[in-house]
Amino acid sequence: MERSIVVVAEHTQGRLTPVTYEAMACALEIQRIQPARIVTVVVGEDAVEVAQEAIDACDQSVLAVKVPGLDSYNGEAYRWTLSHALCGLGASWICVPGTTQGFDFGPGLAVRLGASCLSNIERVFEQDGQPIFVRNLFNGKISAELSAAAPTLLIVQPGSFRWERHDIKGRSYVEVITVEWAPTHTRLLGFKSLYPVDSALRDALVIVSAGRGIERRENLELIHRVASLFPRSAVAGSRPLCDNQWLPYRLQVGQTGATVAPDLYMACGISGAQQHLAGMRGSKFIVAVNTDPEAAIFHEADVGVVEDLEVFLADLLEESARLTP
């Protein structure tokens, strides 16, 4: 059977999500190492319409798995329909976007397909004709190179692969299959929107962001005072601060919070977990304050300050007051 590299598309409201393109970019890198046909698979009630967008973007084949009634993501539906749809494709590598959705159905799908599963893939390179997959461990402090035997399902780290639009040579086509599916074990009851992204975060030119390193709730006061040095600034934080109820969830930056891109992002006592980076990586200038010189946040920062934030932020306020008459 002809081998293939499969990309499972993620889509919402009729559009492919940006991480789908990143998963396609990952597939292209694997294809360069191990030539194979790339097939993008779209699952859902509106699979055919969404598949059109995939076709317009690339010269690959697209499989639209139309599932009547499946109007939003259901893990059981994805595992079931994909394990059937992928059967005939001879998939060596299956690339899944590393979102909460990809992590929900991907690992189970791998087991169903008898494939191994690797997550958080951020780079692929070649060694002796084989793809080697790179991911990070220990909260971004260590990088690991892994080899795996096909078939393997790869959960692709958001923000790691760059999709570049290229000329379409017109070899692409959509194949449509319709799969009847009814829930047996997992029923969706709906969605809850907890916190619309704070407009203060969206509009801020400067964000001063606090992490678990602030240690005490009272230290938020320091963060607020530093923020007030800047015009059009806002205070935000990492997830643990919101879990502690020190900050409302609408001020959480990251994968499951807000995505921000201010002129300046000042990360205070934030370690730089992938899920946090996902929300602030696009900032124009990043300053990180952390006691741990190995913290992953420094890999993403323009300026690094290795200090206890309580001491350093107090000094910053003092020096600023001294310099501004």
Partner 1 sequence: MKILVCVKQAPPADAPIKIDQSQQWVSVYGHALPQMGKYDEYAVEQAIIIKEQVPGTTVDAITNGPAEWATVLRRALGMGVDHGIQALTLEGGYASALKTVSCIALAVRARSYDLILTGVMSEDLAQGLVGPMLAETLSFSCVTSCVSLRVDESRNCVYAERDIEGGRRQLVELALPALVTMQSSTNRPRYPSLSNIMRANSQELEVITVESSEDAVSCEKLLRLSSPQKTRSAVFLQGSSKDKARELLSILRKRSVLH
Ligand X SMILES: Cc1cc2nc3c(=O)[nH]c(=O)nc-3n(C[C@H](O)[C@H](O)[C@H](O)COP(=O)(O)OP(=O)(O)OC[C@H]3O[C@@H](n4cnc5c(N)ncnc54)[C@H](O)[C@@H]3O)c2cc1C
Q: How many CB atoms lie within 10 A of CB 14?
A: 11
Alpha carbons 36 and 31: distance in angstroms, whole number: 6
**Site for ligand X (CB under 6 A): which residue of 44, 102, 158, 257?**
257
Strand duo 123-127 + 174-178: pairing: unpaired
Does 290 engage in binding with ligand X (CB under 6 A)?
yes
Does 40 engage in binding with ligand X (CB under 6 A)?
no
Tokens describing residue 290: 């952390």
Query: In the complex with partner 1, which residue's Cβ is closer, 111 or 176?
Result: 111
Does 141 engage in binding with partner 1 (CB under 8 A)?
yes
Stretch that binds ligand X, among 39-47, 120-128, 149-157, 205-213 (CB under 6 A): 205-213
Tokens describing residue 94: 């299956």
Residue 146 contact partner, candidates ligand X, partner 1, none, CB within 5 to 8 A by sort of partner: partner 1
Alpha carbons 27 and 12: distance in angstroms, whole number: 21
Amino acid present at 251: L
> Least distance (Å) from partner 1 to the CB of residue 304?
4
Does 159 engage in binding with ligand X (CB under 6 A)?
no
Does 140 engage in binding with partner 1 (CB under 8 A)?
yes
Alpha carbons 120 and 140: distance in angstroms, whole number: 11
Does 162 engage in binding with partner 1 (CB under 8 A)?
no
Residue 276 contact partner, candidates ligand X, partner 1, none, CB within 5 to 8 A by sort of partner: ligand X
Cα 164 off chain centre by: 18
Alpha carbons 290 and 308: distance in angstroms, whole number: 7
Residues sharing a CB contact under 8 Å with residue 124, sequence separation 6 or more, in sequence order: 26, 29, 30, 33, 131, 132, 133, 134
Amino acid present at 141: K
**Helix, coil or strand: residue 244:** coil
Query: In the complex with ligand X, which residue's Cβ is closer, 39 or 242?
Result: 242
> Least distance (Å) from ligand X to the CB of residue 267?
8
Does 26 engage in binding with partner 1 (CB under 8 A)?
no
Query: In the complex with partner 1, which residue's Cβ is closer, 28 or 272?
Result: 272
Cis omega (within 30 of 0) for bond into 325:
no
Residue 140 contact partner, candidates ligand X, partner 1, none, CB within 5 to 8 A by sort of partner: partner 1
**Site for ligand X (CB under 6 A): which residue of 28, 58, 236, 309?**
309
Residues making contact with ligand X (CB under 6 A): 100, 211-213, 215, 238-240, 252-257, 269-271, 273, 275-276, 279, 289-292, 295, 308-310
